Structure 1
Amino acid sequence: MENKVTYAPSNLVTETEFENNLYRKVAFKLVPFLMICYIAAYLDRVNVGFAKLHMLDALQFSEAVYGLGAGIFFIGYFLFEVPSNLLMHKIGAKKTIARIMILWAIISAAMAFVQTPTQFYIARFLLGAAEAGFYPAVILYLTYWFPSNRRGKITAIFMTAVPMAGILGGPLSGWIMQDMHNTHGFQGWQWMFIIEAVPSLILGLLVFKLLNDKIQDAKWLSTQEKQYLNEKIILEKKNQIEHVSLFSLLKDKRVIHMALICYCTVSSLSGLSFWLPSVIKSTGVNSILHVGMLTAVPYIFAVISMICVCGHSDKTGERRWHMIIPFLVGGVGLTLSTLFGHNPTLAIAMLSVAAAGTMVCSPLFWSLPTAFLDGRSAAAGIAGINSFAGLAAFFSPFIIGWIKQTTGSTDLGMYFLASFTVIGAILVYLIPKDLVNKTVK
């Protein structure tokens, strides 16, 4: 096959214009819906951070119990993520994403009825097992439609769902917990779990109608558009790893290096997400509604950072320093948020710096491994990397909970998270330049 994709010349539209318009069309069709799904997913994952503000007193749970329960989600996630993504590669995105969303909606709603630490642990574990594979499934799904030189910005736009969940979920959770408290005999935190599970259930059913498994299945594309997209993806595959065993893949030094970087991104990000409401409350903000509204502020800055930094990275073709600098900025923000803990305004400003830095690293990171993994290798590699990183999401909340219970403060926990931003920056710096160059061609 020639190293050129098929394009029918036009007197009105150049090939570059045709390509840009086509990928814009695909992005508008797929990305907004996937973002809404991930907003629902992330909200159901981290709303336990708001529930904690009342749930611990109501059920007599310790900080360590909460930390273990928040983190044990990722044990289920770790165990079921690779099988889930391999299954998606076999049966398609629609069945996989719908199954994941419907199951996690049911389990998330059931969180309202836990009474003991054991029930809490089991529910969180099952929620992780149910959600396992959603994020890497979407990352894999995007590789079916977009070449690597366009995935940085597309992934960043999709990943803004995380801070968007914070922007929308913070005020919503605060309002539900405050205004729905003791309605029909349920406490506010119980209503929060039930109400916030409903969107996931509805979206899970809509997946069958709104997503296409393959380019060929998209009725909203012309024959020429389908051919053009397919040939773009096929051209890129010739430089990727194909038909390797899972065992060989996980021995690949590049995959291991990527997994370590992903561990650092997830460790700093998940710790911040699960403990942000508690950190804000510790600055002297007592109203649950006000806590919810203030948690939205760092996430607003994160959205702006993700779009600007990832867009600039795609435009310039540079990856390493676009990750190193945000890593270090995030670490500085986490550290300074503890030093200004007595001042709510300065503390939230520094948490905004931390969120803007740590959250931009994740979408930039995924532009790296998806450039040299393909097909079954991508399904296993992406899920394997994300699963390993999920261990960080288990240990970080647990260790912060243990530190909080032992010291009575979250300060050392924030320093703990900041250490991973430094390690992550070093690991990114050590990525071989030829691997980065392949990624940004």
Structure 2
Amino acid sequence: MKRTLAASRWYRLIPVAFITYSLAYLDRANFGFGAASSMATDLNITPATSSLLGSLFFLGYFFFQVPGAHYAAHNSAKKLIFWSLILWGGLATATGLVSNVNLLIVIRFMLGVVESAVMPAMLILLSNWFTKTERSRANTFLILGNPATILWMSILSGYLINAVGWRWMFILEGLPAVVWAFFWWRLVDDKPTKASWLTEPEKRALAEQLQAEQQGIKPVKNYAEAFKSRTVILLSFQYAFWSIGVYGFVMWLPSIIKAAPNMDIVKTGWLSSVPYVLAIIGMFSASYFSDKTLNRKAFVWPFLLIGALAFYGSYAIGSDNFWLSFVLLILAGGAMYAPYGPFFAIIPELLPRNVAGGAMALINSMGALGSFAGAYIVGYLNSSTKSFGASYLFMAGSLLLSALITLYAVRGTRTKTPEPIKQAV
């Protein structure tokens, strides 16, 4: 009798992963709205310090990626994320209570440290539950927490700041992570073998499929050998340049829009949400066709190139035509987000389980450095040049480099996969 893969994995795990990662993005990205409100005036924050605060999260985010991934792969992703939820929710709430810039600097850095292990731990968790022909879509549902959250967060944060001020915005948006930690603990299992809601045949079918996929992958002894891999090194640089564009955009889009004529914080919130609608559509489309074709590269570099061209178009137009420039920013935002699912499906198909999690963490940590650079340099360019043209050009160049490195780094366009076990419906 032919075994089937349990469809229940999708509705039992994916919504929980999505909500968890959504809360992470809520508590890292709402700082952009605080910076665009009266926070700077209330705390006497200079433009240079504001750029530093916006980027410090990513510096903290850089340091504990690999240790977090190692713990998640060899101990428990479930336990790691549980404590991360409680700690980052507390730090995000504390942002609304500070009256000292130095304390705010510490909080932003520590928020990055606490959240640093979440992304690799989540990717490792999903790789234990979903097969090669499912993985791009599973990753996309996880990372969809980024644009989907920024979409509604942009609107909500604008209203909250307008109604109760920036302090209460941080407090009200930080507390849900602490509450959700206990739902996470109740609902998630590290591996299928621990899940009481799967039957024994379903557990065996999934284990056999995942094991079969490992047979065609060349063994790698340890992290040191994996980190010296040409593909891992190139994808680390690729993701760093990509992240410069993404987080320069995420952190400073509210300020860019707020600077337009006759713009208030509520309108800023609504307009800031628009690029993420396109991002969601792009992410679903790219992940679906990536899993259908198993051609990961073809669904990464073209989107990054489109993003680069859109940023360059905004630079060429200049500040005289806000609405045309804004349309190009919408296109850039959507294009930058579309390839996430296919991109994070590449490494588990090239490296064995014992090192794949660490390799993804290394790549993600380099992305954190790119995010730090993007958030800081874009803010610096905006404040020093008193316009946004230089930052658009900077982000365009970064995305162009990322697209070119993708073409060189991932030479194979398709990866072979064992005959899949039928999925139950």
Counterparts of 1:243 and 1:107 in 2: how far apart (Å)?
A: 38
Structure 1 match to 2:394: 416
Contact 2:151 2:274 in 1 (8 A): yes
Structure 1 match to 2:187: 210
Does the C-alpha gap of structure 1 residues 439 and 421 become closer, same or farther in structure 2, counting only changes over 3 Å?
farther
Structure 2 match to 1:183: none
Structure 2 match to 1:350: 328
Give, as a single letter, the amino acid of the residue that structure 2 aligns with 1:407: T
Superposed counterparts of 1:29-428, under 5 Å: 29-53=12-36, 54-180=38-164, 188-240=165-217, 242=219, 244-338=221-315, 339=317, 341-428=319-406
Which consecutive aligned stretches of 4+ in structure 1 deviate over 6 angstroms post-superposition?
A: none
Counterparts of 1:355 and 1:214 in 2: how far apart (Å)?
A: 34
Structure 2 match to 1:4: none
Counterparts of 1:341 and 1:368 in 2: how far apart (Å)?
A: 39
CA shift, 1:246, in A, is: 2.2
Contact 2:68 2:116 in 1 (8 A): yes
Contact 2:131 2:210 in 1 (8 A): yes
Counterparts of 1:439 and 1:123 in 2: how far apart (Å)?
A: 46
- For structure 1, list consecutive stretches of 5 or more residues without a partner in the other structure: 1-7, 10-14, 181-187
- For structure 2, list consecutive stretches of 5 or more residues without a partner in the other structure: 419-425
SS of equivalent to 1:336: helix
- Per-residue Cα deviation, 1:362-420 (whole angstroms, up to 9, x for no partner): 22211111212233312211111111221101111111122122111122112111111
Give, as a single letter, the amino acid of the residue that structure 2 aligns with 1:360: A
Counterparts of 2:10 and 2:183 in 1: how far apart (Å)?
A: 18
Does the C-alpha gap of structure 1 residues 99 and 27 become closer, same or farther in structure 2, counting only changes over 3 Å?
same
2:1 aligned with 1:27, yes or no? no
- Per-residue Cα deviation, 1:187-206 (whole angstroms, up to 9, x for no partner): x1111110001111111121
> Structure 2-normalised TM-score?
0.93
CA shift, 1:242, in A, is: 4.6
- Per-residue Cα deviation, 1:306-349 (whole angstroms, up to 9, x for no partner): 10122122222322222121111111222233426444432332
CA shift, 1:244, in A, is: 2.1
Counterparts of 1:86 and 1:298 in 2: how far apart (Å)?
A: 35
Give, as a single letter, the amino acid of the residue that structure 2 aligns with 1:327: L
CA shift, 1:236, in A, is: 1.0
CA shift, 1:243, in A, is: 5.5
Contact 2:243 2:368 in 1 (8 A): yes
Contact 1:283 1:342 in 2 (8 A): no
Does the C-alpha gap of structure 1 residues 363 and 285 become closer, same or farther in structure 2, counting only changes over 3 Å?
farther
CA shift, 1:114, in A, is: 2.9
Q: Percent identity?
A: 27
Number of residue-to-residue matches in the alignment: 416
> Structure 1-normalised TM-score?
0.90
More divergent stretch after superposition (91-100 vs 310-319): 310-319
Contact 2:58 2:368 in 1 (8 A): yes
Contact 1:67 1:399 in 2 (8 A): yes
CA shift, 1:438, in A, is: 2.8
More divergent stretch after superposition (419-428 vs 84-93): 84-93
Does the C-alpha gap of structure 1 residues 117 and 203 become closer, same or farther in structure 2, counting only changes over 3 Å?
same
- Per-residue Cα deviation, 1:99-127 (whole angstroms, up to 9, x for no partner): 11111000111111333432222111100
Counterparts of 2:115 and 2:84 in 1: how far apart (Å)?
A: 5
Contact 2:26 2:153 in 1 (8 A): yes
Q: CA RMSD in A?
A: 1.7
Counterparts of 1:439 and 1:39 in 2: how far apart (Å)?
A: 33
